[in-house]
């Protein structure tokens, strides 16, 4: 077992974890933050995307111990109380989801894309979503939501 100190959604956590524990299981099983999903075992779907020190990464492909002393934001940490984050709001307004399974990862990825790419267009959004799969929407409204959010942020 190893002792880790991780800031999750603004709160400092100190925990004993197994070395082999994946970060996504720390979030879901130990902290009950079940908004972060697991959609594959090949590191390709992006349902598990969270922010590690501000960057979007796949929490299924890293160990909790690798995140020691880091700061993490999950989908639960995005809204400001009852006020949705602009990207969340844009997904709601533009019908950017159907079953919703991919949505937390999509939104965490989208926040990161908007931060990195000042002049977003449809082509760039589609390229940037390379690491996020959706089985329902055909991506149309996801792309629309992200472009709408980019104009607001």
Ligand X SMILES: Cc1cc2nc3c(=O)[nH]c(=O)nc-3n(C[C@H](O)[C@H](O)[C@H](O)COP(=O)(O)OP(=O)(O)OC[C@H]3O[C@@H](n4cnc5c(N)ncnc54)[C@H](O)[C@@H]3O)c2cc1C
Contacts to ligand FES by CB under 6 A: 38-40, 43-48, 58, 60, 97-102, 134-137
Which residue, 11 or 134, has its beta carbon nearer to ligand FES?
134
State how far the alpha carbon of 6 is from the alpha carbons of 17, 27, 57, 72, in Å: 12, 11, 16, 7
| DSSP classification of residue 48 | T
Please tell me the distance from the alpha carbon of residue 51 to that of residue 33, in angstroms, as a whole number. 14
Asked whether position 43 contacts ligand X by CB under 6 A, the answer is: yes
Tokens 């933050």 belong to 33
Closest contact distance (angstroms) between CB of 134 and ligand FES is: 3
Please pick, from the candidates 7, 13, 61, 124, the single residue that binds another protein as defined by CB under 8 A: 61
Using CA atoms of 79, 59, 39, 37 in order, give the dihedral in degrees to the nearest 10.
Answer: -30
Residues in contact with ligand X, counted by CB under 6 A, come to a total of 2
Q: Which residues bind another protein (CB under 8 A)?
A: 2, 18-20, 22, 41-44, 46, 49, 52, 55-58, 61-63, 65-66, 68, 109, 112-113, 116, 128, 130-132
């Amino acid at each position: 077992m190893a002792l880790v100190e991780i800031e999750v959604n603004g709160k400092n956590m100190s925990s004993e974890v197994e070395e082999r524990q994946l970060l996504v299981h720390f979030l879901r099983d130990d902290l009950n933050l079940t908004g972060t999903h697991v959609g594959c075992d090949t590191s390709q779907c992006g349902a598990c995307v969270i922010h590690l020190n501000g960057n979007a990464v796949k929490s299924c492909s890293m160990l909790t111990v690798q995140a020691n002393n880091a700061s993490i934001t999950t989908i639960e940490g995005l809204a400001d109380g009852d006020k949705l984050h602009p990207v969340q709001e844009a997904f709601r307004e533009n019908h950017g989801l159907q079953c919703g399974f991919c949505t937390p990862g999509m939104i965490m990825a989208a926040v990161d894309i908007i931060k990195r790419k000042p002049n977003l267009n449809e082509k760039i959004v589609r390229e940037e979503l390379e690491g996020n799969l959706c089985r329902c929407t055909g991506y149309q409204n996801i792309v629309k939501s992200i472009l709408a959010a980019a104009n607001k942020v």
